[in-house]
Amino acid sequence: MGNWRIKLVLLFTILNIIGIFAIIPYSITLMDNQSVPGDSPISLIIIINSTIQVFYMFVLILVGLRLQNRTGLNAPLLNGIVYPKTRVHISKKWLINSIVGAFIGSLMIILLDLFVFSPLIGAPMDQLPSPNWWQGLLASLYGGMTEELMLRLFGMTFIVWLLARITKKEKDNIPTSFYYVAIFLVAILFGLGHLPATIQVFGDLSTIIVIRALVLNGLLGLWFGYLYWRKGLEYAMIAHMSADIFLHVLFASILY
C-alpha cells in the first residue's frame, strides 16, 4: 500500500472515530429509560459498542477505498489532501446545492410525518427522551461522517462494483442504471435498519409503519447517493450533516 493510500485510510478512519464518539451523548439520552442486563451503566455499554464499531468500520473503509477505483466513484476533496500533486477544488455551487437539497428533503420528511403518516398511525406507544440541541448537533457528525462512510463509501460502492463485476463491465463503461440501483438499494437498506427503533416506538410493525420507516429514513439517502455519484463523497457528507442539523436541532427545537 502506497504512502498516500495509508494517509487516506488514516484520514477516513479519523473522520469515522470523530463521528462514532460524537453521537455518544445523544445515544445515552435516548437509552436513558431502557433497561439493560445486569448492573452495567448505559454509558459503558455505549462506549464499548462504539469501540467495536470503530474496528469494523475500519474494515469497511479499507474495502470501500479499494473498490472506489473500479467504480468511478470518488472522494476528490479528501483525496486531494493526501494525493501528491492533486489540486483540491471546492464547488461553491454544489456546496450550496447540497445544503439546500438537505433542507428541502428535511422539510419534506417533517411534513410527511405530520400530515401523512401520523394521522394514519396515531400516537407512538413509547415517547423517547428528547436529546438537547447540542447533543443533536454532535450527532450530526455521526450521520455526516460515519453513516456516509458506511452507506456510500462502502455500501453504494460495493453494489456498483458487484453489478459491474457480474456483468463484466469496466470502470469506463459502467451503465448509469447501476448507480441508480445502488442509490436506491442503499436508501432502502438504511430505512430497514431503522425498523428495530421503529418497533421500540410503536410497539409492533404494520404495513404503514414499515412504509413510514422506509420513506422517512430513505428519502434523503437518494439525494446523498446522487451527490456521491455525481460530485463526490464530501458533498454527500455535507448534505447528510446539514440534514441532521435541520431535523435534530432546528426543526426539533421548533416542533418539540
pLDDT for the residue numbered 82: 83
For the entire predicted model, the pTM comes to 0.93
Helix (H) or strand (E) holding 124: none
Nine cell digits for residue 186: 442503499
Question: How do the domains of the chain map onto residue ranges?
Answer: 3-255
pLDDT digits (tens, 9 = 90+) for 94-133: 999 999 999 999 999 999 999 999 999 977 766 667 889 9
Count of residues for the chain? 256
The C-alpha cell at 73 is: 466513484
List, as one string, the DSSP characters of 145-199.
IIIHIIIIIIIIHHHHHHHHHHTT--GGG--HHHHHHHHHHHHHHHHHTTHHHHH
According to the model, what pLDDT value does residue 161 have? 98
If you ran DSSP here, which 8-state letter would residue 248 be given? I
d(CA 116, CA 104): 17
Low-confidence ranges of the chain (pLDDT < 70): 1-2, 33-40, 84-86, 125-128, 256
Q: How far apart, in Å, are the Cα atoms of 108 and each of 57, 101, 105? A: 31, 11, 5
Quote the pLDDT of residue 1: 56
